[in-house]
Amino acid sequence: MMVGARALRGAVALAAAALLAACGSDSGNTGGGGGGGGGQPAALEGRGEITFVSGKDTSGNMQKLIDKWNTDHPTEKVRIVELPESADGQRQQMVQNAQIKSDAYTVLNLDVVWTAEFAANRWVVELPQDQFDLDNYLKPAVDTAKYRDKLYALPVYGDGGLLYYRKDLLDQAGLQPPKTWTELIAACQKVRGLPGTENMGCYAGQFEKYEGLTVNFAEAVQSAGGTIVNEDGTPAVNSSQAKTGLDTLVQGFKTGAIPQQAITFKEEEGRRAFQAGQLLFHRQWPYQWALANKTDGSSQVVGKFDVAPLPGVNGPGSSSLGGHNFAISAFAKNKATALDFIKYFSNEDNQRSNLLATSQAPTRTKLYEDSELVQKFPYLPTLKASIEGAKPRPKAVKYGDVTAAIQENAYAALTGTKSADQALSDLQKKLEELTKQ
Ligand code: GLC
């Protein structure tokens, strides 16, 4: 009986959620649901074993932090449930788990772009803001964890795009890192005149049809002065600026500045190519720094690269805001343990040791100003600027549909099955449809 009533309430909530508008502004004025009606969020209760559900840990440090927690909390152990490497694969499994209201997943490592969807559908619980020192976190990261001004997750990993470049080769060619696309292409031409570099790829990012393509498309558009949706959530991607941005990538593939195989690159494929010395420039997140500097023989470019801000059309470009927030599944048991675990994972000591071990971007502001850390990771000021100047991807309750439309049209333009004009006008129409629903 009880289960039946609960399931019915769930179905009504889902039906209501299905009617929600797709794109919303920061205040979530086109969304609905997840508000909880004001006042304090419900108390998070229950202690015992929990799971931590996350994309594949390419850094190798996650289990170490969890082992430490488990030693200190023998009756509240955490077990990692490892999901696929790609963001879309992770989202799909988390959504399925929520739709069947399974208690198998407790703490969710959510991509920053999923907060609106998970909060509006009430798949995650509201967190007690007063129990977190949010003032000590980077503001753009905190904003990604909120929906309709309420907190649904804690930002644990930041992410900002960086232009990795082969400093050794630019030095040999007497060049500074490029600030614009035109300078980047000119730098490639000059470096390719050096002995042994003729077969190097000039530039790659993430161009496979998945969330990484949405990121790279958004960056190309905004680095040319365009936007996918306006601040008020209305689609505005069919613009001459967006066309200029998309064309830089389309032309990159056409002229060979972007090697053909980059159409299959997600983060890890590109990282392997950069580490094998096959790329002069690579758009990538900060985690690549530590891995490409590893001295175990896995990287050919140890000490040979540096990072710069992403290039733009008339000057430096800007990053799409990335990162990961930890949230608690609404269907999980032991939510009190989950809350403590989230606080533990994101405390200053752990963010610091995680940065030292992995070069992943912290979300605590102080660590970017720590002189010992800046000495070890000279890219930290560039990274902080990248995150602070980054633009969020569209905030959408139906984010899955929005990103699928972006991916489909961007991919069609990059592979030449649609012109850039057609792709942008189709995308605009699709986004308008999704906004109207
Ligand atoms: C990184 C970013 C995330 C982004 C994803 C795309 O994990 O932190 O925000 O969506 O890459 O592949």
Residues 292 and 423 both lie in one domain: yes
Is the CB of 211 inside a 6 Å radius of any atom of ligand 1? Answer: yes
Residues 284 and 383 both lie in one domain: no
Is the CB of 111 inside a 6 Å radius of any atom of ligand 1? Answer: yes
Q: How far is the CA of 212 from the centre of ligand 1 (A)?
A: 6
Residues 336 and 275 both lie in one domain: no
Residues 95 and 39 both lie in one domain: yes
Beta-strand relationship, 279-284 and 162-166:
antiparallel
Residues 135 and 238 both lie in one domain: no
Q: Which helix (H) or strand (E) holds 183?
A: helix 181-191
Is the CB of 208 inside a 6 Å radius of any atom of ligand 1? Answer: no
d(Cα 132, Cα 41) in Å, to the nearest integer? 14
CATH of the domain at 54: 3.40.190.10
Q: How far is the CA of 266 from the centre of ligand 1 (A)?
A: 10
- Provide the token pair at 297: 């023989």
Range of the domain at 22: 16-160+321-388
User: What is the residue-level pLDDT of the chain in tens, covering all 437 positions?
Assistant: 333 333 333 333 333 333 234 444 333 333 333 344 457 888 999 999 999 999 988 888 999 999 999 999 999 999 999 999 999 999 999 999 999 999 999 999 999 999 999 999 999 999 999 999 999 999 999 999 999 999 999 999 999 999 999 999 999 999 999 999 999 999 999 999 999 898 899 999 999 999 999 999 999 999 999 999 998 989 999 999 999 999 999 999 999 999 999 999 999 999 999 999 999 999 999 999 999 999 999 999 999 999 999 999 999 999 999 999 999 999 999 999 999 999 999 999 999 999 999 999 999 999 999 999 999 999 999 999 999 999 999 989 999 999 999 999 999 999 999 999 999 999 999 999 998 87
Atom 2 (ligand 1): residue with closest C-alpha? 322
d(Cα 252, Cα 266) in Å, to the nearest integer? 17
Report the candidate in 293, 260, 314, 270 with the shortest Cα–Cα distance to residue 167: 293
What 3-state class would DSSP assign to 67? helix
Q: How far is the CA of 118 from the centre of ligand 1 (A)?
A: 17
Is the CB of 212 inside a 6 Å radius of any atom of ligand 1? Answer: yes
**Does residue 174 sit within a domain?**
yes
Q: How far is the CA of 170 from the centre of ligand 1 (A)?
A: 28
pTM of the predicted structure, to 2 decimals: 0.91
d(Cα 221, Cα 233) in Å, to the nearest integer? 16
